[in-house]
Homo-oligomer: A and B are copies of this chain.
Amino acid sequence: MIVDCAAYEAGRRREGELSLGRAGEAAREKGTFVWLGVVEPSDTEFNDVAAEFGLHELAVEDAVRAHQRPKLEEYGDTLHVVVKTARYVDPKEVIEIGEISIFVAPGSVITVRHGHADLAPVRERLEQRPDLLANGPGAVLYGIVDHVVDRYMEAAHGFDNDVREVELQVFGEGRNPTERIYKLEREVLEFQAATAPLGEALEELCAHNYPVVPEALHEYFRDVEDHLARVTTRIENFRQLLDSALEANLTQVSMRQNEDMRKISAWVAIAAAPTMVAGIYGMNFEHMPELEWTLGYPTVLAITLAICLFLYWRFKRAGWL
């Protein structure tokens, strides 16, 4: 489904939406480029686009089917860039991965998006920067990639919160956080797989002199690469923190088990005292002088109680109770 299709001349949007055919014509005009936005296209829909703009069979297949890795590929003078979008859904503690395929040719940019990514704000922001857009289709690529990496930062921020919550769970009282740690680890791995390969693609964008990426844009792409590197380092740190949290959690579980064991044992010891005393005076010897004393019973009860209190105090002082 085509969602927006416009021609840009000298960095400014020409009035009106273009049909697919008119778009193809405009793309061939000098000094003009077309930005065609497509959302989750069907095979037939996209085949029309591909025919009009001469896209390579394999790139088309990748763009329609999605589930690609982030990458940069060169088909003649067309660049095919795939980026993954990421959104952290906090209540579910799940990372949602989307995908944008971008075809950058000298006279056109075609963006194919899958999943939650929304490119309308990118288009808006870029249209307010004619100086940037004047650099041609490469500027659109920059705008999208910059936007996507900014979203990564936000997603990483969401993770950060949850990792800190998990830490509180590990070291505070409360329910067992093992499953939560594991689930976060799974999401972090997915996030990492979605973001890390983009770095290589961005590096190539600056290193090679692709005709659609004029040198004036190199600094912009380097800036994005840098932001990406920050995200990647943070994600890697999340993984290591979660690994350590898992192990720290195991230690805490063992600690708590030991504390419970001590508490239980202390009570068993306290209960053992009266049982033992009662056992002694339950013996049937004929000559047990205490049994005949008038105050024998209350005395023994009092002594037993004293022993129990003494034990309680000892265990309290030793930190077992």
User: Within 8 Å of chain B (Cβ to Cβ): is A226?
Assistant: yes
Could you tell me the distance in whole angstroms from the C-beta of A273 to the nearest C-beta in chain B? 8
- Taking CB as reference atom, which chain B residue is nearest A248? B182
What are the 8 closest A-B residue pairs judged by CB atoms, nearest first? A278-B279, A281-B283, A264-B265, A285-B297, A282-B282, A257-B258, A171-B179, A250-B251
User: Within 8 Å of chain B (Cβ to Cβ): is A151?
Assistant: no
- Inter-subunit contact B185/A219 (CB<8 Å): no
**Which residues of chain B come closer than 8 Å to A179, judged between CB atoms?**
171, 248
Could you tell me the distance in whole angstroms from the C-beta of A159 to the nearest C-beta in chain B? 14
**Residue-wise interface mask of A (151-187) relative to B, using a CB-CB cutoff of 8 A (1 in contact, 0 not):** 0000000000000000100110000101101100110
- Inter-subunit contact A301/B276 (CB<8 Å): no
User: Within 8 Å of chain B (Cβ to Cβ): is A306?
Assistant: no
User: Within 8 Å of chain B (Cβ to Cβ): is A68?
Assistant: yes
- Taking CB as reference atom, which chain B residue is nearest A297? B285
**Which residues of chain B come closer than 8 Å to A283, judged between CB atoms?**
278, 281-282, 284, 291, 297, 300
- Inter-subunit contact B75/A219 (CB<8 Å): yes
**Which residues of chain B come closer than 8 Å to A288, judged between CB atoms?**
284, 297
**Which residues of chain B come closer than 8 Å to A167, judged between CB atoms?**
182
Pick from B170, B241, B265: contact of A189, CB under 8 Å? B241
With A and B bound together, what is the CA distance between A214 and B229 in angstroms? 29
- Taking CB as reference atom, which chain B residue is nearest A225? B71
Could you tell me the distance in whole angstroms from the C-beta of A299 to the nearest C-beta in chain B? 10
User: Within 8 Å of chain B (Cβ to Cβ): is A312?
Assistant: no
**Residue-wise interface mask of A (281-312) relative to B, using a CB-CB cutoff of 8 A (1 in contact, 0 not):** 11111111011111111001100000000000
10 contacts between A and B (CB under 8 A): A176-B255, A182-B244, A246-B247, A247-B250, A250-B254, A271-B276, A281-B284, A284-B291, A285-B297, A286-B292
With A and B bound together, what is the CA distance between A285 and B294 in angstroms? 9
- Inter-subunit contact B279/A62 (CB<8 Å): no
- Taking CB as reference atom, which chain B residue is nearest A182? B248
With A and B bound together, what is the CA distance between A276 and B275 in angstroms? 5
With A and B bound together, what is the CA distance between A294 and B286 in angstroms? 8
Could you tell me the distance in whole angstroms from the C-beta of A311 to the nearest C-beta in chain B? 10
